[in-house]
């Protein structure tokens, strides 16, 4: 915190003395002593607007009643909330608010959790209003959100939330006086981020979710607090259920890392897992067909085959792949299953698609596998650098932290992103940016080099590091001096002044956080760029400074957990090297068994080995390599050659369709465990409903398999596994509201600046290749959409209503160049193949680029090449050059 | 319960107006950028008066209204783009002010002040004249599209009541005779010489000893 | 020949005075500016205004010099002057005349104010309906700019003051100073919660002064002829100077009359405005625009200064004096004003928004002879529940007509209701027989 010694003031609330930080509102001070002043328009997340006038209180020495939501507590203030005058004032304001409110509580979804209802009850407010109530014309509002404007109390919380917190500004209070109503634009339906914030923040039932309209009364519902599975931000959600039915998702202000904020995926995507096409019974291949079977039969079959193959070909004939959506307990058990029951290190997880790049860079330079900063540090930062984050879409809640820093605390935001600062229906982070560089994804590396060069040439290198590691500093200085500004300008399209300006802003910050997103982490050379960003922090003296740090953003909800649990080939639990003898000894001791020695194969290596017939059996848990990797990798043929392909899955994916056995897995809504979010917070996952049909949590399946195979890994419940994890991983974070992030390890930094940096410095201080763009082509990029997450969300009816399929998003200039308008069919092709889709013109796409959402990209993948990072083995297939043709 | 379930799928009245499957983006409108093309210089000049672009919103809405006679959705979208606002931000402002018309009004917009001060001097009679002579009440437009009537609140001409404003011009101290002449002139010439010049009431008169 | 010396209306009272720069200069215009710009320190100009006792002419009557003194000292960065030419208070039409007939007088005042408070930009927020006024101002600004009175390097003294005309678009509330700022920022004209006050967080969150047009028009005279001179006029020490009162309603010669503060209403109405228009005696008058409570014939000898009118239970407000003769239906009159307030409530605060709609509906019922005795109690209750519970003074103002007419002419309400009840009885009786 910047002001750890926060000043306080002392005041009394109804005679009770309380001391609060300076600047606290009276309404909050009252809350501290347990006095809840009734209110509608006030919300702790929003700037006071004091429009409802409900929260009036008496303040000594002030002639009029004051609104406690907008009055700041001062030293010696005496506030009274319980006098007759105050009571009568509340009653009269309530009478006004009720005047135009319809009494349709029995059919209102808010009934039972409505502030207006509660206060009316409290004040036994009877209305003398006998005149005509206003009536609004009903209008279609949006596919997911419905308004009942007759109920609106005009507190404008929805409008203010949409602007102040989300920076979306999709809601408009229209008209004036009593006839003010909340609309979007003219008679157009609401078209926005669909974060559900307006639904959640409305104190009455004026804005409701259509997904659960009329389905329940609040008291019928059972609630479970758990964690959203749709991205790495790890939002806490409260899932409300009626029997086995998922009814609604909410988030509570003050709870979890999101503190009441969600995105469309979290708020509206919750029914993805209860989609009718869920696999609910074990399937086994008989005569080429997958048919239902009993658990006994399939487990027996898998065990038999495994034992047979292991006997014939040894444990190295196996591989395993697990999804970063699984719980920590499952990830841990999976690697233990592979390493112990099977006896191989051939195992990997979806963290390999990019997250590993960030983690390995942090491990090399600063000796941590987690961020050294937290969301709070982002909010408190005075300078934020975002690079390749696509943050609104990929990590919307981290995005909100950035917005909060900028909008509430006036942080300086610097962005290097592949977006144009256009205003659209989805907020655009570059609009909040003080300095934005619009850079093609393939040139993010060049932009970072530009920044480094500007730091060196602008004499911004920190003195401490100069003295401590002169060789390192001169090596980097030398490397950047080899780069010509002209070349940098050509690569990035940015003049050198911009880099100097950005470097100066960066250096000028006291609390500097650098966020790197999946666009960068998943791109070719992502690992090197991460290292360079760490160099940037090191050279400017920001790596170890309080509140500063590097924050690579995880795409999947438990990518971070996958790494920490050792569910990637070269890492053991605790993200320790497979070759780390101490770690091996410690784990072997805990497991009472030695660990396999042979280095493990990573994702693409396993596919190659399957292709070569070396790997014969593959265990796949929740992963879908056939659907996710470009066909060019030969993944489908490779898996086709396997003697045993076992898939634990929710749905019959492209990969599961090839399996010999498909085991029905329970979704995160149906099991207990923990997820670790992008900033390293381990949070509890709790079941909202029972597993559907015969499905079982993945850890139970793995455990059962191990028993059948004869090397049993038995646990009573997920908690028992967590206990073992805690024992195996030294200092493993405890569940809690705010675990302390790890600190930079100075010994590792020393090692890096004396020696570690040398190995590949030349390589990563070279400008990335510049493709000469051919006439009639664009660079096609796969991107994350705000409305989807992996392929899972494409099973959510709600989200499909917002985004039903993939469109090719194109800049208007490019679209005009190709004679395209929104809705036109278009064919993309290159030497690898072709692919037809529909175009959509979007201002925020930079010229020369075209975006296609990853979630619908199975067919588009055939155009992509896959490049594997030599160090981190991350397969990269983010962008490719394609020709564009309008078709009919 | 069943009926309710069905309702949750989407009330029946929503069927006809389903959201388009490709939501229309707010900006990036493909059509001609009308205002910008026609009034580039004026727009730039207006924006240059303010350190924060949004301040130019009402002036630009006026410009759009002058151009088309009312403020169209297309204009609101374009203005949003010019000022880096979302269309709802433009819309919320446009709907707050009574002088900004989001719908077409007649060629001559008669705005008769009905506030107390004018009422004391007979403004209700003026509204009556409009009704008998043009056949329209407040909020209505003649079928030929020539005249619209609004009964408005005080226009700061209480000393010269009753009065009305027609488009940009004030007509004060209305009598039936003057009123008839105004209508006739407007119809014929599009303007009327009875409109008020620089205001002063009572007017200066020649005083002895002065020239 | 007016019996008091005219200050603000003096030029325009000259036959043939067009308000052009030439006319204004010939009448001694811009001399005050020449006198101080670059010669007298800005703080001294503020001190002069403070000493003159000038109080705001927009409605609240806040001492102008004191208001300027609230600007943060030593603040680096832009400050703004916003000139309130929204003139929407029913019964008020003085600013319009000052603008259209003698624009340079205002501009000189504006530049003087800018100089005193260190603002380099002034916006004249003029109500949208004043199209002619806006044009005249723009033309005058162009003239003044050419002559070096406005712009950068004013009179070669290195002082900058740019003046822009910004038209409102039809909203009474935008006369309220913070709503005006919101509107000027391109938003809906909703008043802001205070504190913070415009002096520290005004336009674009920067230190800002909002002053009425008439207030500003006084400045050249105060600076030109000295604060002592100004302070000696009117009803010192608290109500100095003249005011332009706008007389409307049932008088022979309605119009704008500039008189020193402190004369009586009787003098204003009978000597300046020509007395009642017919043989009916005066029944009621509003002393300061629609927001001011009604007064009765008994109040005719109240003095036209801030304190006296307040003591009589009303306020001097914007200086709009509306006269009503015997026979005027006071319930109807209150309803007319209530309809105005209902139409103009911005909708921000629940008591004002909902209360005004409720009051209007109840009043309409009473006037339409569908009232009940309980309604009177409800009216009073509602008014009291609105008063003092809203963000801006609009709420307080909106209840003035009903509260004051109920106070002075309750019997008229009662009669209407009794008639309603009688009519009801008649209506019910035949129904009862069947
Ligand atoms: C509802 C309301 C409407 C107002 N309308 C006006 C107006 O039209 N013109 C004006 O000058 N002041 C108006 N005021 C007063 C202003 O808020 C403010 O006090 C004034 O502009 C300050 O200038 P002054 O100090 O020079 O009087 C209004 C106040 C309220 C509460
Ligand atoms: S819809 Fe709800 S949140 Fe929005 S203004 Fe109305 S009551 Fe407030
Ligand atoms: S909560 Fe304070 S005014 Fe609404």
Q: Is residue C428 part of a domain?
A: no
Instruction: State whether C198 and C123 are in the same domain.
Output: yes
Q: Residue A458 has what pLDDT?
A: 97
Q: Which of residues 162-181 of B touch C (CB under 8 A)?
A: 165, 168-170
Measured in whole angstroms, how far is the alpha carbon of residue C22 from the centre of its chain?
30
| Token pair belonging to A696 | 């079982």
Band (B9; pLDDT cuts 50, 70, 90):
very low
**Residue A212 pLDDT greater than 50, yes or no:** yes
Q: Is residue C4 part of a domain?
A: no
- Taking alpha carbons only, the member of B21, B16, B34, B15 closest to residue B73 is B34
Instruction: State whether C253 and C341 are in the same domain.
Output: no
Q: Is residue C433 part of a domain?
A: no
Nearest chain A CA: its distance from B34 CA (Å): 17
Instruction: State whether C300 and C275 are in the same domain.
Output: yes
Residues of chain B with CATH 3.40.30.10: 108-189
Instruction: State whether C90 and C159 are in the same domain.
Output: yes
Map B59-106 to HEC letters. Answer: HHHHHHHHHHCCCCHHHHHHHHHHHCCCHHHHHHHHCCCCCCCCCCCC
Q: Residue A738 has what pLDDT?
A: 65
Instruction: State whether C21 and C122 are in the same domain.
Output: yes
3-state secondary structure of C6: coil
Using CA coordinates, name the residue in chain C closest to A127. Answer: C378
* Residue A289, beta-bridge partner list: A286
Instruction: State whether C268 and C175 are in the same domain.
Output: no
| Token pair belonging to B152 | 């408005």
For residue B100, whether the previous peptide bond is cis, meaning omega lies within 30 degrees of 0, is: no
Beta strands in C155-277 (DSSP E): 159-167, 208-212, 234-235, 239-240, 242-249, 255-260
> Which ligand 1 atom is nearest residue C173's CA?
1
C232, C266, C286 — which closes off a domain? C232
Core vs surface per residue C350-361: b (16+ CB within 10 A) or e: bbbbbbbbbbbb
Ligand 1 centre distance from Cα of residue A555 (Å)? 55
Instruction: State whether C265 and C188 are in the same domain.
Output: no
Least confident range of A215-219, C169-173, C262-266: A215-219
Query: Are C351 and A128 an interchain contact pair (Cβ–Cβ within 8 Å)?
Result: no
d(CA A844, CA A785): 13
- Cβ–Cβ under 8 Å, residues C209 and C407: no
Instruction: State whether C17 and C130 are in the same domain.
Output: yes
Partner B contacted by C320 (CB < 8 A)? yes
Q: Is residue C148 part of a domain?
A: yes
Q: Is residue C225 part of a domain?
A: yes
Residues of chain B with CATH 1.10.10.1590: 12-94
Tell me, what CATH number does C347's domain have? Answer: 1.20.1440.230
Instruction: State whether C27 and C160 are in the same domain.
Output: yes
Angle between helix C350-367 and helix C330-344 axes, rounded to 10 deg: 150
**Residue B89 pLDDT greater than 70, yes or no:** yes
B209 exposed, middle or buried (CB, 10 Å; 0-12, 13-18, 19+)?
exposed
d(CA A354, CA A553): 10
Q: Which fold has domain B108-189?
A: Glutaredoxin (3.40.30)
Q: Residue A772 has what pLDDT?
A: 78
Residue C14 with chain B: CB contacts under 8 Å: 204, 210
- Interacting residues of A219 by C-beta distance below 8 A, sequence separation 6+: A112
Determine phi and psi for A57, rounding to 5 degrees. Answer: -140, 165
| Token pair belonging to C20 | 């052009």
Core vs surface per residue C226-249: b (16+ CB within 10 A) or e: ebeebbebbbeeebbbbbbbbbbb
Band (C429; pLDDT cuts 50, 70, 90):
low
Query: Are A177 and C388 an interchain contact pair (Cβ–Cβ within 8 Å)?
Result: no
When divided into structural domains, chain C yields a total of: 3
- Interacting residues of A97 by C-beta distance below 8 A, sequence separation 6+: A40, A52, A54, A116, A153, C350, C354
- Cβ–Cβ under 8 Å, residues C130 and C103: no
d(CA A611, CA C363): 87
C232, C257, C274 — which closes off a domain? C232
Q: Residue B8 has what pLDDT?
A: 34
- Cβ–Cβ under 8 Å, residues A155 and A40: yes
- Taking alpha carbons only, the member of A146, A248, A240 closest to residue A189 is A146
Residue given tokens 């101490």 in the structure block: A582
Partner B contacted by A425 (CB < 8 A)? yes
Tell me, what CATH number does C192's domain have? Answer: 3.40.50.11540
Query: Are A422 and B27 an interchain contact pair (Cβ–Cβ within 8 Å)?
Result: yes
3-state secondary structure of A678: coil
Instruction: State whether C342 and C206 are in the same domain.
Output: no
Reported pTM: 0.95
B130-to-A259, B138, B157, B176 alpha-carbon distances in Å:
60, 9, 19, 10
3-state secondary structure of A35: coil
d(CA A317, CA A340): 14
Provide long-range contacts, Cβ within 8 A and 24+ apart, for A314-318: A315/A342, A315/A343, A315/A344, A315/A596, A316/A344, A316/A346, A316/A598, A316/A614, A316/A615, A317/A614, A317/A615, A317/A616, A317/A617, A318/A342, A318/A344, A318/A346, A318/A615, A318/A616, A318/A617, A318/A618, A318/A619
Instruction: State whether C63 and C140 are in the same domain.
Output: yes
Residue of the CA atom closest to atom 3 of ligand 2: A202
Rg (CA), chain A: 28
Residue B205 with chain C: CB contacts under 8 Å: 15
Ligand 3 centre distance from Cα of residue A257 (Å)? 27
CATH superfamily of B12-94: NADH-quinone oxidoreductase subunit E (1.10.10.1590)
- Cβ–Cβ under 8 Å, residues A417 and A429: yes
Q: What is the dihedral of CA A355, A361, A362, A366, to 10 degrees?
A: 180
**Tell me: the pLDDT tens digits for C332-362?**
999 999 999 999 999 999 999 999 999 999 9
- Cβ–Cβ under 8 Å, residues C286 and C296: no
Residue of the CA atom closest to atom 6 of ligand 2: A152
Of A65, A129, A154, the CB nearest to C388: A65
Band (C237; pLDDT cuts 50, 70, 90):
very high
Residue B139 with chain C: CB contacts under 8 Å: none
Q: Residue A814 has what pLDDT?
A: 95
- Of the residues A142, A155, A197, which should be mutated to test ligand 2's pocket, given the most ligand atoms within 8 Å of the CB? A155
Nearest chain C CA: its distance from A390 CA (Å): 30
**Tell me: the pLDDT tens digits for C78-115?**
999 999 999 999 999 999 999 999 999 999 999 999 99
Q: Is residue C5 part of a domain?
A: no
**Tell me: the pLDDT tens digits for A140-155?**
999 999 999 999 999 9
**Strand-strand pairing, C151-154 and C121-126:** unpaired
Query: Are B200 and C188 an interchain contact pair (Cβ–Cβ within 8 Å)?
Result: no
* Residue B200, beta-bridge partner list: none
C309, C325, C341 — which closes off a domain? C325
| Token pair belonging to A102 | 């319809």
* Beta carbon pairs, B and C, within 8 Å: 176
d(CA C148, CA C151): 7
Higher pLDDT, B7 or A696: A696
Query: Are B17 and A172 an interchain contact pair (Cβ–Cβ within 8 Å)?
Result: no
Other C-beta atoms closer than 10 Å to the C-beta of C372 total: 16
d(CA A173, CA B96): 9
Instruction: State whether C412 and C320 are in the same domain.
Output: no
- Cβ–Cβ under 8 Å, residues A546 and A377: no
Q: Residue A216 has what pLDDT?
A: 83
Of A171, A173, A425, the CB nearest to B23: A425
- Taking alpha carbons only, the member of A249, A334, A330 closest to residue A674 is A330
A321-to-A621, A832, C57 alpha-carbon distances in Å:
6, 27, 79
Q: Which ligand is nearest to the CA of A54?
A: 3
Q: Is residue C3 part of a domain?
A: no
d(CA B104, CA B15): 29
**Tell me: the pLDDT tens digits for B26-75?**
443 334 458 999 999 999 999 999 999 999 999 999 999 999 999 999 99
**Tell me: the pLDDT tens digits for A307-317?**
999 999 999 99
Q: Residue B205 has what pLDDT?
A: 83
d(CA A490, CA A400): 33
- Of the residues C50, C167, C198, C212, which should be mutated to test ligand 1's pocket, given the most ligand atoms within 8 Å of the CB? C212
Average pLDDT, integer, range A15-26? 97
Q: Is residue C41 part of a domain?
A: yes
Domain that holds residue C378: 330-423
d(CA C68, CA A704): 81
Average pLDDT, integer, range A731-742? 76
- Cβ–Cβ under 8 Å, residues A866 and A523: no
């Amino acid at each position: 915190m910047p002001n750890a010694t926060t000043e306080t003031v002392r005041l009394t609330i109804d005679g009770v003395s309380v001391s609060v930080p300076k600047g606290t509102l009276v309404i909050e001070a009252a809350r501290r002593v347990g006095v809840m002043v009734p209110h509608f328009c006030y919300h702790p997340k929003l700037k006071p607007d004091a429009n409802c006038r409900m929260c009036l209180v008496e303040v000594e020495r002030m002639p009029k009643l004051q609104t406690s939501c907008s009055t700041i507590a001062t030293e010696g203030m005496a506030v009274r909330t319980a006098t007759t005058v105050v009571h009568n004032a509340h009653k009269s304001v309530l009478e006004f608010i009720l005047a135009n409110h319809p009494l349709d509580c029995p059919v209102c979804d808010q009934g039972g959790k409505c502030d207006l209802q509660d206060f009316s009850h409290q004040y036994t407010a009877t209305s003398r209003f006998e005149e005509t109530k206003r009536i609004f014309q009903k209008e279609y509002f949006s596919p997911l959100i419905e308004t009942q404007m007759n109920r609106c109390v005009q507190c404008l919380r929805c409008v203010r939330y949409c602007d102040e917190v989300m920076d979306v500004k999709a809601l408009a209070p229209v008209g004036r006086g009593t006839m003010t109503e909340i609309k979007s634009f003219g008679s157009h339906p609401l078209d926005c981020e669909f974060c559900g914030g307006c639904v959640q923040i409305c104190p009455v039932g004026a804005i409701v979710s259509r997904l659960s309209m009329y389905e329940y009364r609040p008291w019928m519902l059972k609630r479970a607090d758990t964690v959203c599975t749709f991205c790495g931000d790890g939002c806490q959600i409260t899932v409300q259920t009626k029997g086995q039915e998922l009814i609604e998702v909410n988030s509570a202000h003050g709870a979890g890392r999101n503190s009441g904020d969600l995105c469309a995926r979290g708020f509206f995507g919750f029914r993805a897992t209860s989609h009718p096409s869920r696999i609910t019974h074990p399937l086994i291949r008989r005569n080429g067909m997958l048919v239902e079977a009993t658990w006994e039969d399939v487990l027996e079959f898998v065990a038999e085959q495994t034992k047979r193959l292991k006997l014939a070909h040894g444990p190295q004939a196996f591989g395993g792949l697990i999804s970063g959506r699984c719980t920590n307990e499952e990830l841990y058990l999976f690697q233990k299953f592979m390493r112990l029951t099977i006896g191989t290190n051939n195992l990997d997880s979806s963290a390999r698609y990019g997250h590993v790049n960030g983690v390995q860079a942090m491990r090399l330079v600063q000796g941590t596998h987690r961020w050294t900063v937290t969301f709070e540090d982002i909010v408190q930062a005075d300078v934020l650098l975002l690079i390749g984050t696509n943050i609104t879409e990929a990590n919307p809640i981290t995005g909100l932290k950035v917005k909060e820093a900028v909008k509430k605390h006036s942080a300086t935001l610097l962005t290097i992103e592949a977006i144009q600062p256009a205003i659209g229906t989805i907020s655009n982070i570059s609009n909040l940016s003080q300095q934005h560089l619009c850079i093609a994804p393939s040139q993010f590396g060049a932009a970072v080099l530009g920044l480094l060069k500007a730091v060196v040439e602008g004499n911004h290198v920190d003195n401490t590091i100069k003295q401590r590691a002169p060789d390192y500093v001169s090596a980097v200085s030398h490397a950047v001096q080899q780069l010509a500004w002209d070349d940098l300008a050509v690569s990035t399209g940015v003049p050198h002044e911009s880099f100097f300006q950005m470097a100066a802003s960066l250096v000028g910050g006291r609390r500097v956080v650098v966020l790197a997103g999946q666009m960068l982490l998943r791109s070719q050379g992502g690992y090197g760029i991460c290292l360079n960003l760490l160099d940037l922090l090191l050279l400017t003296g920001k790596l170890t400074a309080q509140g500063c740090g590097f924050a690579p953003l995880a795409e999947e909800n438990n990518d971070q957990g996958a790494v920490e649990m050792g569910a990637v080939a070269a890492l053991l639990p605790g993200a320790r090297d497979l070759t780390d003898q101490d770690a091996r000894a410690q784990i072997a001791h805990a497991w009472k068994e030695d660990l396999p020695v042979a280095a493990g194969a990573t994702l693409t290596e396993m596919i190659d080995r399957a292709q070569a017939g070396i790997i014969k059996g593959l265990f796949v848990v929740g992963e879908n390599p056939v659907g996710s990797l470009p066909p060019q990798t030969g993944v489908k043929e490779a898996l086709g050659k396997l003697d045993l392909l076992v898939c634990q899955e929710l749905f019959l994916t492209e990969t599961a369709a090839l399996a010999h056995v498909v085991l029905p897995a329970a979704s995160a809504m149906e099991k207990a465990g923990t997820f670790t979010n992008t900033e390293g917070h381990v949070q509890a996952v709790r079941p909202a409903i029972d597993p559907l049909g015969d499905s079982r949590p993945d850890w139970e399946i793995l455990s059962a398999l191990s028993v059948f195979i004869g090397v049993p890994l038995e646990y009573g419940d997920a908690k028992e596994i967590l206990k073992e994890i805690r024992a195996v991983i030294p200092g493993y974070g405890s569940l809690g509201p705010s675990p302390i992030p790890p600190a930079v390890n100075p010994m590792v930094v020393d090692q890096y600046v004396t020696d570690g940096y040398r190995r590949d410095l030349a390589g990563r201080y070279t400008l990335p290749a510049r493709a000469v763009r051919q006439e009639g082509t664009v660079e096609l990029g796969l991107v994350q959409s705000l409305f989807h997450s992996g392929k899972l969300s494409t099973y959510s009816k709600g989200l499909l209503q917002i985004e039903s399929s993939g469109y090719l998003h194109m800049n208007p200039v490019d679209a005009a160049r190709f004679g395209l308008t929104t809705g036109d069919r278009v064919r993309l092709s290159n030497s690898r193949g072709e692919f037809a889709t529909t175009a959509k013109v979007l201002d925020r796409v930079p010229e020369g680029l075209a975006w296609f959402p990853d979630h619908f990209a199975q067919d588009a993948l055939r155009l992509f090449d896959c490049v594997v990072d030599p160090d981190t083995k991350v397969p990269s297939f983010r962008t490719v050059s394609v020709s564009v043709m309008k078709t009919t | 319960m069943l009926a309710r379930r069905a309702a949750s799928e989407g009330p029946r009245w929503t069927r006809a107006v389903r959201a388009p499957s490709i939501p229309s983006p707010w900006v990036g409108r493909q059509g001609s950028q009308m205002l910008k093309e026609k009034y580039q210089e004026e727009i730039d000049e207006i924006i240059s008066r303010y350190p924060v672009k949004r301040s130019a919103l009402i002036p630009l809405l006026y410009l759009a209204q002058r151009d088309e006679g009312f403020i169209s959705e297309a204009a609101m979208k374009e203005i949003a783009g010019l000022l880096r606002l979302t269309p709802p931000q433009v819309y919320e402002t446009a709907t707050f002010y009574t002088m900004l018309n989001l719908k077409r009004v007649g060629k001559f917009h008669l705005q008769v002040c009905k506030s107390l001060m004018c009422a004391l001097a007979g403004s209700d009679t003026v509204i009556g004249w409009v009704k008998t002579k043009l056949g329209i009440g407040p909020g209505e437009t003649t079928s030929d599209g020539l005249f619209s009537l609004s009964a408005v609140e005080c226009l700061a001409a209480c000393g010269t009541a009753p009065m009305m404003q027609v488009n940009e011009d004030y007509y004060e101290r209305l009598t039936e005779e003057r009123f008839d002449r105004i209508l006739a002139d407007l119809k014929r010439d599009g303007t009327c010489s009875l409109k008020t010049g620089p205001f002063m009431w009572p007017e200066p008169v020649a005083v002895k000893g002065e020239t | 020949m007016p019996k008091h010396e005219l200050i603000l209306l003096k030029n325009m009272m000259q036959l043939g005075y067009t308000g052009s720069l030439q006319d204004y200069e010939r009448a001694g215009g811009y001399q005050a500016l020449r006198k101080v710009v670059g010669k007298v320190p800005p703080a001294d100009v503020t001190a002069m205004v403070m000493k003159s006792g000038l109080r705001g002419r927009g409605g609240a009557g806040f001492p102008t010099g004191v208001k300027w003194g609230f600007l943060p000292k030593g603040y680096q960065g832009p400050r703004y002057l916003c000139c309130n030419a929204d003139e929407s208070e029913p019964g008020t039409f003085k600013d319009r005349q000052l603008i259209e007939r003698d624009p340079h007088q205002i501009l000189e005042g504006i530049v003087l104010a800018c100089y005193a408070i260190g603002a380099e930009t002034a916006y004249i927020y003029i109500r949208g309906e004043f199209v002619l006024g806006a044009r005249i101002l723009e033309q005058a600004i162009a003239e003044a700019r050419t002559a070096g009175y406005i712009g950068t390097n004013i009179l070669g003294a290195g002082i900058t003051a740019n003046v822009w005309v910004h038209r409102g678009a039809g909203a009474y509330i935008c006369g309220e100073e913070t709503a005006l700022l919101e509107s000027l920022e391109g938003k809906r004209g909703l008043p802001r919660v205070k504190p913070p006050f415009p002096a520290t967080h005004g336009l674009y969150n920067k230190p800002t002064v909002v002053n009425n047009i008439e207030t500003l028009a006084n400045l050249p005279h105060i600076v030109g002829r000295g604060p002592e001179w100004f302070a000696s006029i009117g009803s010192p020490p608290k109500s100095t100077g003249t005011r332009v009162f706008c007389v409307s309603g049932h008088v022979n010669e309605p119009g704008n009359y500039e008189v020193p503060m402190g004369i009586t209403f009787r003098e204003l109405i009978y000597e300046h405005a020509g007395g009642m228009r017919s043989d009916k005696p005066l029944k009621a008058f509003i002393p300061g625009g629609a927001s001011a409570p009604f007064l009765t014939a008994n109040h005719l000898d109240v003095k036209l200064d801030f304190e006296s009118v307040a003591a009589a239970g009303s306020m001097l407000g914007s200086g709009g004096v509306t006269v009503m003769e015997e026979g005027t239906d006071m319930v109807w009159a209150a309803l007319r004003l209530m309809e105005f307030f209902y139409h103009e409530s911005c909708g921000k605060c629940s008591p004002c928004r909902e209360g005004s709609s409720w009051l209007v509906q109840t009043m309409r019922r009473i006037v339409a002879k569908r009232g009940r005795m309980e309604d009177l109690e409800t009216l009073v209750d509602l008014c009291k529940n609105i008063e003092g519970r809203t963000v801006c003074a609009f709420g307080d103002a909106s209840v003035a007509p009903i509260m004051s007419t109920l106070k002075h002419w309750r019997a008229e309400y009662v009669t209407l209701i009794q008639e309603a009840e009688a009519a009801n009885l008649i209506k019910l009786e035949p129904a009862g027989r069947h």
